[in-house]
Structure 1
Amino acid sequence: MDHFLAMTTVQNVLGSRLANRVLESLWNSTHIAEVEIIWDETLALEGRAGYYDGVGALRDMLQNHLVQLLCLVAMEPPISLGERDLHDRKLDVLRSVRPLTDEAVMRRTRRARYLPGLIADRNVPAYVDEEGVDPARGTETFAEVELELDSWRWTGTTFRLRTGKALGADRMEAVVRFRDVPHLPFGHSGEARPNILRFGLEPESLTLDLTGVGSRTQTFAPLELTARMDPPELPAYGRLLLDVLNGDPALSIRGDEAEEAWRVFAPVLSGWSRGLTPLEEYPAGSDGPASDHDGEQAGS
């Protein structure tokens, strides 16, 4: 069971795609350059070393929660939302993930753990100084993996899964970045804002970033359309438990799905254990380890 699958916004990923012709017709690599699925949180270890230090960020978030959301974003339209149809299409996505070679692990994955720092007005010790942590384990508190899907729909689109603890701000969302338009027929300089569709997970929301043009200034102007989701009648765990009581396994994870998810991430864990990717560090309260994507994310 994965409570992520019962979140209102997660389920609205399917609703937004499959109930709206304007989106589904664009939902492919021809129009979408990149998809980011992010769970960054200000929460540090908070006394959970007994669990977390033997697991780490990748096992805790990427291998289960975030990859399940990836399946909903990338899956082909199912015949129905029944248990078999939904799980079969999710399995197709997992099977299409290009295997990560040692070279890909070095180029397409990152791991890090936090140093001491300040989050809001709270002093946070380094991860290795948290009670119950064994520094020799090299447990990561930040994990990022770039995946490619070998399929007719998605070849050429990058899928980035990222999570981190003790960061400066909470950021929980799935971000769909569309490709630039092929030509801008305007007589002024400047760059148009990329079209971005954001599925906010906490808080639950849906936002579309567009570009407009000011009539007087002849400069590009950002346009933002945002919808806030009504609070669900039941929390995510409650929805899952109700489905179990009703005998509906549609929002559960089938055994072959779990096996394919481990197939995707096992090479990463193996590569990390052999030191193919260095264990970086970042101050608590920061944006995480510096990367080529930081400026792009800050600007988006």
Structure 2
Amino acid sequence: MSRIKNPPPANIVIFGGKGDLAWRKLIPAFYNLYIGGFLPKNFAIYGVHYEKQDEKWYESYMLEGINTFSRSGKAKPKEWKAFAQNLYYFEGDFTADDTFRRLGETLDANDKKWRNRAVRLFYYSVSPKFIDDISIGLSKYDLAANVSLDRIVVEKPFGSDLQSAKDLNKLLLAKFKEKQIYRIDHYLGKETVQNLMAFRFANIFFESLWNHNYIEHVQITVAENIGVGSRGNYYETAGALRDMIQNHLFQLLCVTAMEPPVTTDAEEIRNKKVDVLKAVRPFNKDNIQSNAIRGQYGEGKVNGKTQQAYRKEKNVNPKSDVETYAALKLYIDNWRWQGVPFYLRTGKSLQKASSVIAIQFKQVPLCVFKPNAIPDRRPNQLIISIQPEMETTLVFQAKEPGVEMKIKPVEMDFTYHDNYDTAVPEAYETLLLDVLEGDAALFMRADQVEQAWKVVMPVIDNWAATTEKFPNYNAGSWGPKAADELIKADGFDWILLPEAKQPAIKKKTKK
């Protein structure tokens, strides 16, 4: 979608404006949008927090965040001075009427000064317990009454199960219209994820093969090499399935498996994503044990450093049964994907941080070459690395130079670093600009959130009712043995790197 020229003025309000997300991500993102020329001429950013703070202290603190985390490096004094003139600290209790009364007066005064009704972006960078109070305050004082110009951005977690997600949607939709609500998942703002749609729908040779006739299976991996750190309180109520698979990995699943949209209209794209989740074959008591694996890390070494067991992390129950690793095998029951297994996995304290979508194609129907000519009959693979590398690799067979017919896997790479001089924007930059422009294509709709919860609830309920012997994998490994057995049972191996040392794919033994 083309960016709007001469965008209207904008009032940006960050509830939790002194918090870690604002410091590390939001303010650096807005700053980069500003120096890139994407913010309107007239704008104001208000960081709302209950503590009394000096305005100069707030500016200094946010500058520290930009200098530490911004992709553009340390702020240039002239650019920072110009940006900081539009940055304000707003003292206010989220639960107090006076906060919203004063905030309304401030935003109205800006509209009058700019002689234009500004876009209003309200970012909920807060604990879920404050969503109700903030929504009531905004509604009571008509701060977000303009359906076309006023937007609400809600961070995950969006509910902790299906019922809480329904309750949260009901709460928000009682105060705002669906088109005003932007449920943000930063994974969809990543450049490589967006490029997957370009690969699929702008190139006939990819999309022509993108179905069960040619694809044998699909893997989606989001691996982290760090433990839970200081997030023990949160993780004890979430776990890997809720924290990562229900949102991040399902978003990647939807982009990978969706049908081609008719247009790039936000609702058209979101309809196609919801269709994917509706087509996921339901889990039941007969297939959960064989298709859903969980794990929890014990002590080990990651990058040469000792990592303590999850149960010894801060604010974690010493007998915790919370999973830090989850792997699912899914089927999407529609014409395009019938019979193609999708393997999803994520975990903490794994050997390497890596986010990868791997498409493995079927073998050629008849290999005319002798076994000694093609010792590694690896199928073609399309490997899309989201992070830390940003590259797409196509693995195919080719003849080695020489007088003999010797065939081996080779790689064709597309990397951002080698092909573009332009700096890659952070995910939050892309998504925040979309909110300002009213483009919801990369944001979750209420029905998509609820459908994602419907898929995982049987697994959540089953795991809550059964016990697992934890810990069952060492920190610094690739997870529990059962996860390897899950995929090996179908004759496959987990794919991370398209390197020659990658194990050859064995012949599939069963569907």
For the structure 1 residues 126 and 47, does the alpha-carbon distance in structure 2 shift closer, same or farther, using more than 3 Å as the test?
A: same
Q: Alpha-carbon deviations, 1:122-146, whole Å to 9, x = none?
A: 1111110111101444111100011
Contact 2:228 2:310 in 1 (8 A): yes
Secondary structure, in 3 states, of the residue corresponding to 2:272?
helix
2:413 counterpart of 1:209: no
Output aligned runs, 1:8-23, within 5 Å.
8-23=191-206
Secondary structure, in 3 states, of the residue corresponding to 1:63?
helix
Alignment root-mean-square deviation, CA: 1.7
Q: Pick the aligned partner of 1:283 from 474, 485, 494.
A: 474
Output aligned runs, 1:256-295, within 5 Å.
256-275=447-466, 281-290=472-481, 291-292=484-485, 293=487
Distance 1:226 1:199 in 2: 10
Structure number with higher relative contact order (C-alpha < 8 Å, ≥ 6 residues apart): 1
Paired position in structure 2 for 1:160: 343
Distance 2:224 2:320 in 1: 22
Using structure 1 for the length normalisation, give the TM-score.
0.95
Q: Pick the aligned partner of 2:407 from 212, 220, 224.
A: 220
Task: Tell me which amino acid in the other structure corresponds to 1:125.
Answer: Q
Task: Tell me which amino acid in the other structure corresponds to 2:230.
Answer: G
Contact 1:95 1:260 in 2 (8 A): yes
Runs of 4+ in structure 1 deviating by more than 3 angstroms, as ranges, are 230-233, 276-280
Q: CA deviation at 1:49?
A: 0.5
Secondary structure, in 3 states, of the residue corresponding to 1:102?
coil
Gaps of 5+ in 2: 1-183, 495-501, 505-511
2:433 counterpart of 1:242: yes
Higher-Rg structure is 2
Q: CA deviation at 1:224?
A: 0.2
2:247 counterpart of 1:64: yes
Task: Tell me which amino acid in the other structure corresponds to 2:222.
Answer: W
Distance 1:248 1:187 in 2: 54
Task: Tell me which amino acid in the other structure corresponds to 2:405.
Answer: Q
Secondary structure, in 3 states, of the residue corresponding to 2:432?
helix
Further displaced range: 77-86 or 275-284? 275-284
Contact 2:395 2:412 in 1 (8 A): yes
Q: CA deviation at 1:171?
A: 2.2
Aligned length: 300
Contact 1:102 1:276 in 2 (8 A): no
Q: Alpha-carbon deviations, 1:31-88, whole Å to 9, x = none?
A: 1111111011111112110211211011111000110110111111001121110001
Q: Alpha-carbon deviations, 1:78-112, whole Å to 9, x = none?
A: 01121110001001111000110112111101000
Paired position in structure 2 for 1:78: 261
For the structure 1 residues 188 and 121, does the alpha-carbon distance in structure 2 shift closer, same or farther, using more than 3 Å as the test?
A: closer
Contact 2:321 2:467 in 1 (8 A): no
Secondary structure, in 3 states, of the residue corresponding to 1:28?
coil
Using structure 2 for the length normalisation, give the TM-score.
0.57
Further displaced range: 274-283 or 145-154? 274-283
Q: CA deviation at 1:245?
A: 1.4
Task: Tell me which amino acid in the other structure corresponds to 1:34.
Answer: H
